[in-house]
Structure 1
Amino acid sequence: MTASKTPPRVALLVETSTGWGRRLARGVYDYGNQNGRWQLWIEALGPDRPPRLPRGWRGDGIIARVSSRSMARHLHATGLPTVNVSGRRFASFPFPQVTTDLEAAGRLSADFLMDLGLRHFAYHIVQSPIHMKRHRRAFADAVEAAGFRCDLYRSPGDALEAESSSERAELRRWLGRLSKPVGILCGHGSQLAIHSGRWVIDACRNVGLHVPEDVAVLSGDDDDLLSEVCHPPMSGVAVASEHIGQQAAAMLHRLMSGKPTPEGPVLLKPSGVIPRQSTDVVSVDDPHLATAIRFIRDHAHEQIQVMDVVKVVPLSRRSLEYRFVQALDRTPGAEIRRVRLARAKRLLADSDFTVGAVATAAGFGSAEYLSQVFRTDVGVTPSCFRSEMRSPIAQAPRRPRR
């Protein structure tokens, strides 16, 4: 009788104090549990203590948020297969990488804020690692391509300096200078994005600016606890960290098996935005139009039609459609479809609902109609979209194991 194979021993080096780190760890655990019940080494850590391998640890592979050159050097010296889940890249230590598509995240954030009807935009960040320029630049490029400008505020080198009284005063002055109403995107990276958003909301309160009426605040990441306990609760980009964990585990599995891995980084797009009160604003001057837009956002999943929207405002259908096109460059019917499509994308990426269940929950009514809209607006079927969001490794070019 053949002895059973020993499960792989894998170290997971991420900050478990953040929602991003916990979701990523869940993804790694789920993959390992389904593929030989991996033995995971993971430590409860916060951002103030970079994770490191314990002295004398012997294992088969590592998944790590490689945040510095010294950490990259330390991991490279182990000689073990390693997958990097950070956005940072180190030319001297080219670990296979699975991470967030920062450019897609920046564009998604810009589209979300512009769809609120805002015409003024800004970007706030605490610290500015070089890879974050891709996120900031994508956001600014999308805003500028639509004919608007983007202001930038960069806090000092670390979170402690950003907390200082002089820095808080400077942040308040910057907020006061911005044209209103304004939409602000707060950085990227779980801990920094959440801190950045909370500091902006606190500074607004201190200078008498209302969130979201004067300043709509969007965090570049989301934490199901810290985002909710903000006052008001803060909207955040739904970074696909659990899928990053699953895909990083799948890549490490290939490395440990001597199989080829994708050339270049595997980039996972965010699934959408988790809207909360900090962006619950309709920035249009026309009060009837604002009522109609808010009705659509609140009821699009209920299979409403344009005539249902007409009933909530004292306007004819023709007049309402004219005002929509003038303000948003789309009809009420197109706005209903846009809101439904955004909800369907998030459900496809983040849930295991069938396509039919997604269609019902998003307000499309049938899988056939949802598929038709996806082919027209996205260029793929709902099932293909789900596969692309979850399994980029299967579609990426391969490189041999070196």
Structure 2
Amino acid sequence: MTPPHRIALLFNGSKVYDRGIITGIGNYLSSTRARWDLFLEEDFLCRLRGIERWQGDGIIADFDDPAMAPALAAMRMPVVAVGGSYQDAGAYPPRVPYVATDNFALIELAYRHLIEAGLTRFACFSLPPSESNRWAQEREAAFRQLVAGDGGKALVYHGLGTSASLWDSAVQRQIAWLQSLPKPIGIIAVTDARARQLLQACLTAGIAVPEQVALIGIDNDPLTRTLTRVPLSSVIQGTERMGQLAAQLLHQMLHGKAPAGERVLVAPAGINVQSSSLHQPLGHPYVMRALHYIRQYACQGIKTAQVAQYVGVSRSSLEAHFRRQLGRSVHDEILRFKLNAAAAGLASGERPLQELAQACGFKSAQYLYSVFRREYGCTPREFVAPVAGQGLQAAAGVLLQSGAQHGAT
């Protein structure tokens, strides 16, 4: 039997983007007769030096890192590059097949989503330009092009790089920038990590999300989702598809086919729609302030009286404003948010029902079950089943819409 090919995967396993690509490579291998022995470490940077002496058969590598192309330039084995797309064709490595995430499409999908939410003003939270984040510069350029094409003003903020010594200063600058923006406004962050920073700045400054600032990131990073009090909307990159295509190209090269210089552009997989981007044009500041509080603390078991105390008005006054503005009570809004959080969690399948129920502010899985029965006329699993098969993006969108329509009134 022919021995398996020895393949190096030069990716950073600690990043959700890289893990998605690696998953896609694994999916390709499990669906074909390809036999590969994979050389993979959590961080390729620790082994990049001396890679030219590696006695393997092929490499799939992250070419977003500026050190990658020169390190692999002299390799005599097949190499497939994975990375971000560029509007300038000269930015791609020569004679290397390249599978790219479509940076323009990522921004366009987020931009159109914010437009559909009823917003007319837009900003982008990017990164300080450097060779290591050319993908962020491409996303920023796409944002400028889209907004200018619609006759708008593209507001872009780079902020500071992430470091412990600059953290306090960075947050204060983000707050100052947010306060300077016209409201309401939709903001696209070039990554989920960047979006989380801005969301935290909004919460610190008392800026209502999404009524004043509707926010969406890119990556659909589950770790980031656990670190935000307001659920974060995010564009889902097609990383698994990228991994599959990269593995397919390398497989072809290993068997004598030569797709040298071939470029494949992969569109985003969709949007995980959450509360941070679901803008609702509200007129009364009491309602806006109350919703700001509910989105942060609904799953911690807050009551109507606590919301009224936070807003600084009587319970009866706040209830009257809610009835006029939203057609439902404060209690109904708290319950609606908790049910949406539970339904989205069920769609993702990331937690068992008991754990999910407690995380969403329900006393037990049995209580969550009974509330679903009462509000929707079905069990939690039955509620999710029709949309879960369509993927997380579709499920989240339908669930949030259903929550708005079926919340107790």
TM range (shorter): 0.5 to 0.7
TM, length-normalised to structure 1: 0.65
Contact 1:106 1:138 (C-alpha < 8 Å) held by counterparts: yes
Q: Whole-Å Cα distance in 2 between the matches of residues 53 and 31 of structure 1?
A: 28
Matched, 1:7 2:4: yes
2:72 is aligned to 75
Provide the rounded CA distance (Å) in 2 between the counterparts of 1:284 and 1:269: 34
Are the counterparts in 2 of residues 67 and 86 from structure 1 also a CA contact under 8 Å? yes
Which segment drifts farther, 216-225 or 176-185?
216-225
SS in 1 for 2:8: strand
Unaligned residue ranges in structure 2 (runs of 5+): 285-321, 328-332, 341-385, 400-409
User: How far is the alpha carbon of 1:167 from its aligned partner?
Assistant: 2.6
Gaps of 5+ in 1: 188-192, 299-343, 352-357, 364-402
Structure 2: distance between partners of 1:175 and 1:186:
13
In structure 2, distance between residues paired with 1:91 and 1:36: 28
Amino acid at match of 2:81: N
Q: 2:252 maps to what in 1?
A: 254
**Contact 1:98–1:248 (CA<8 Å) still a contact in 2?**
yes
Q: Could you tell me which residue of structure 2 aligns to residue 142 of structure 1?
A: 146
After superposition, what is the alpha-carbon deviation per residue over 1:82-101, rounded to whole angstroms, capped at 9, x for unaligned? Answer: 11111277556542110111
Report how far residue 136 of structure 1 moved.
2.0
Q: Look up the match of 1:170.
A: 173
Q: Distance in 2 between matches of 1:269 and 1:186?
A: 18
Change (3 A) 1:123 1:117: same
Measured after TM superposition, the shift of residue 346 of structure 1 is 11
Mapped pair 1:185 → 2:182: no
Offset, 1:161 = 7.8
Given the two structures, how large is their TM-score scaled by the length of structure 2? 0.64
Cα distance in 2 for partners of 1:285, 1:145 equals 30
Equivalent position of 1:25 in the other structure? 22
- Higher helix fraction (1 or 2): 2
Distance 1:68 1:15, change over 3 A: closer
| Alignment match, 1:316 | none
Q: By how many angstroms is 1:51 displaced?
A: 5.8
SS of equivalent to 1:111: helix
The 3-state SS of whatever aligns with 1:77 is coil
For the residues of structure 1 that align with 2:387 and 2:108, how far apart are their CA atoms?
16
Q: Identify if the C-alpha distance between structure 1 residues 155 and 50 changes in structure 2 by more than 3 Å, giving closer, same or farther.
A: farther
**Structure 1 Cα separation of the partners of residues 243 and 62 of structure 2:** 11
Partner Cα distance (2:223, 2:61) in 1: 24
Amino acid at match of 1:154: H
Rate the CA distance shift 1:166–1:200 in 2: closer, same or farther, 3 A.
same
Contact kept in structure 2, 1:233 and 1:278, CA below 8 Å: yes
Deviation at 1:200, TM superposition (A): 0.3
User: Are the aligned partners of 1:100 and 1:267 in contact in 2 as well (CA < 8 Å)?
Assistant: yes
Partner Cα distance (1:63, 1:231) in 2: 37
Match of 1:398? none
1:201 is paired with a residue of what secondary structure? helix
Identity %: 27
Moved more, 5-14 or 277-286: 277-286
Q: Equivalences for 1:1-400 in 2 at 5 Å?
A: 4-33=1-30, 34-45=32-43, 49=45, 52=48, 57-87=54-84, 93-128=94-129, 129-156=133-160, 158-160=161-163, 163-187=166-190, 193-261=191-259, 263-283=261-281
1:217 CA displacement: 1.3
Q: Deviations over 1:341-375 (max 9, x none)?
A: xxx99977889xxxxxx9xx989xxxxxxxxxxxx
Once the two structures are TM-superposed, the CA of residue 211 in structure 1 deviates from its matched residue by 1.7
Measure, in 1, the Cα distance between the counterparts of 2:165 and 2:158. Answer: 9
SS in 2 for 1:236: strand
Change (3 A) 1:161 1:98: farther
CA deviations over 1:293-323 (Å, ceiling 9, x no partner): x99xx9xxxxxxxxxxxxxxxxxxxxxxxxx
